[in-house]
Structure 1
Amino acid sequence: MLTLYIIDNCDTCRKARKALDEKALLYKTHDLHKDGLSAALLEHILHRVPLVEVINKRSKTWRELSDEEKDYDANSARQLLMKYPTLLKRPLLEKDDGTIVVGYRDGDYDKLSG
């Protein structure tokens, strides 16, 4: 089953959910605020997606970080993501084969089948 990692009030996440619903695809959601981001889940994601691809440098959270925090290495980036789950680009769609699609644009899910 597909897993969609979201933040409920994110407009792009809503668009992704709508696209999956329109294709009548079965999926479960994991809200990074409500359900949390564990160290194990973060490592699960980072095992499939490079760190540089999952940090959302256009987010309000990123803009509010200090220059010191923005100058991260792999270890400090993990700490930042654990502290601020909204730094993860979203949505993240984990497909049945374990690959993860980062973000959403219209048409991204067109090739998915249920």
Structure 2
Amino acid sequence: MTTFVTLYGIPNCDTVKKARAWLAERGVDVVFHDFKKQGVPPEHLRRWTNAVGWEKLLNRQGTTWRKLDATAQAAVHDEASAAALLTAQPSAIRRPVVEWRQVAGAADGEVTVGFAPDDWARRVG
């Protein structure tokens, strides 16, 4: 079965670069969605938080999070507050976010966060 993915991220992110190169080496059709230029589609953000949880989606180790003051960080305590931050600061989203389509062994429309070559190898066959 052919694998199609939509990969969401920021083009200068090292992890996104590795992920895109890995997929290209395997001939996977990829649509890239640039958070910086295209923003975060609210309906996708809801789907991602439903799929993986807002805690996993929020990158608390990244530069964007670390640059927030303590009050702004403390204000992120549930899905709604995380969604508000991630919409305003897409760089705070753990990258890449991938929506998988028509993947053997995985549900159509499954969402993953981060680059996991072993898991991805299973998905692309």
TM over 0.5: yes
Q: 1:2 touches 1:28 (CA, 8 Å); kept in 2? A: yes
Structure 1 unaligned residues grouped into runs of 5+: none
> Which of 68, 73, 76 is equivalent to 2:77?
73
Matched, 1:15 2:18: yes
Structure 1 distance, partners of 2:48, 2:91, is: 14
1:110 alignment partner in structure 2 = 121
What aligned pairs does 1:1-12 form with structure 2 within 5 A after superposition? 1-12=4-15
Structure 2 unaligned residues grouped into runs of 5+: 102-107
Judge which range, 66-75 or 12-21, deviates more: 66-75
1:95 alignment partner in structure 2 = 100
Q: Classify the secondary structure of the residue corresponding to 1:8.
A: coil
Q: 2:39 touches 2:87 (CA, 8 Å); kept in 1? A: no
Q: 1:25 touches 1:113 (CA, 8 Å); kept in 2? A: yes
- Give the TM-score normalised by the residue count of structure 1: 0.90
Give the CA deviation at 1:68: 1.5
Count of aligned pairs: 114
Runs of 4+ more than 6 Å apart: none
Q: Please tell me the residue identity of whatever aligns with 1:88.
A: I
Q: 1:6 touches 1:92 (CA, 8 Å); kept in 2? A: yes
Percent identity between matched residues is 33
- Give the TM-score normalised by the residue count of structure 2: 0.83
2:45 alignment partner in structure 1 = 42
Give the CA deviation at 1:98: 1.6
